[in-house]
Amino acid sequence: DAKTTQPPSMDCAEGRAANLPCNHSTISGNEYVYWYRQIHSQGPQYIIHGLKNNETNEMASLIITEDRKSSTLILPHATLRDTAVYYCIVRVPIGGTSYGKLTFGQGTILTVHP
Amino acid sequence: KAGVTQTPRYLIKTRGQQVTLSCSPISGHRSVSWYQQTPGQGLQFLFEYFSETQRNKGNFPGRFSGRQFSNSRSEMNVSTLELGDSALYLCASSLDGTGNTQYFGPGTRLLVL
C-alpha cells in the first residue's frame, strides 16, 4: 500500500469547514483512498473512501486531485464532537491480497474550538 | 445492524500471565482483523482471519496468536504478558478482507502490571 503524509495537527472553529489534506504521491492506479477517524480511546470510525471521483456522504466530502497524488477530507460544519485523530489510508481494491491489513500513519489531530 | 463488539472492554493482568480477548464481527462479515495501538507505535496490524484460517500476519512475536470460529467470531491470545503489551487492542470486520471497508470495534484496553 502507498504511503501517506498528513500534517500532525490542525485547528478549526466550530461551525466552519475543516479541510484535512493528505499526500499520497506513490498511489497506484487501482488503490483507494480511505479516511477514518478516532475519537479518544475509541475504535477508528470509517468516514469515507474514493478512487478517482469526488465523494460525499452524510459525514464528509472527499476531494481527490486529478493526478490522484493528494486528497482533502472536508467536514462542512465542524462541531466539537469532530475533535479526533483523522487517518488517511491508501489500500488495494476489493479482490486484493493485503487480506485485512490497513496501514495507519500518525494521522492529523483535528481540534475544533468553540 | 449491530456493530463489532469486543469483550472485555478493560482488563488488568500481571506480567507472565496470559489473556484472551474476544471479537464478534458484524453479521455477515467473515473477515476479522486485529490491531494493537500504543502511544509509541500507533496502530499496528496483528493478523487477519477468514473462514477460520489466518491469512495475513503482522510483525509480532509468537506470543500473540488468534483463532476464528465457524460463526466468524474471533479470539486473540497473548501469552507470557510483558509490560509492553499494555495497549488498546482493536478488532475490525469486513465482508471478506480483500479490500472491503473495515469496521472497528470499541477495543479492549489491556493494562499489564
A58-84 pLDDT per residue, tens: 999 999 999 999 999 999 999 999 999
What residues of chain B lie within 8 A of the CB of A102, using their CB? Answer: 33, 35, 43, 45, 92, 102
Which pLDDT value is given to residue A1? 61
Listed range (B61-65, B85-89, B96-100) with the worst mean pLDDT: B96-100
Q: What is the mean pLDDT of residues B47-65?
A: 94
Of A42, A43, A49, the CB nearest to B101: A49
Which pLDDT value is given to residue A2? 65
Span A12-68, pLDDT tens digits: 999 999 999 999 999 988 889 999 999 988 999 999 999 998 999 999 999 999 999
Distance of CA A11 to the CA centre of its chain: 16
The predicted-structure confidence for B33-51, as pLDDT tens digits, reads as follows 999 999 989 999 999 999 9
- Condensed to tens digits (0 to 9), the pLDDT of residues B12-34 reads 999 999 999 999 999 999 999 99
Task: Indicate yes or no: CB of A100 within 8 angstroms of CB of B42.
Answer: no
Q: Assess contact for B34 and B102: CB atoms under 8 A.
A: no
Cβ contact, residue pair B102, A100, below 8 Å: yes
Q: Could you give the 3-state DSSP secondary structure of residue B80? A: coil
Reading the block at residue A113, the C-alpha cell is 474550538
Task: Please report the pLDDT score of residue A95 as a whole number.
Answer: 67
The 10 Å Cβ neighbour count of residue A83 is 19
> Any chain B CB within 8 A of the CB of A5?
no
Report whether pLDDT(B98) > 90: no
> Count H helices, E strands: chain B?
0, 11
Whether B99 and A34 lie within 8 Å, measured CB to CB: no
How far is Cα A99 from Cα B30, in angstroms, rounded to an integer?
A: 12
B77 or A96: which leads in pLDDT: B77
| Beta carbons of B31 and A100 less than 8 Å apart | yes
Per the listing, cell 479492549 goes with B108
DSSP codes of every residue in A45-78: EEEEEESSS-EE-SS-EEEE-TTSSEEEEEETT-
Pick the residue of B43, B54, B103 with the most A CBs within 10 A to test the interface with A by mutation.
B43
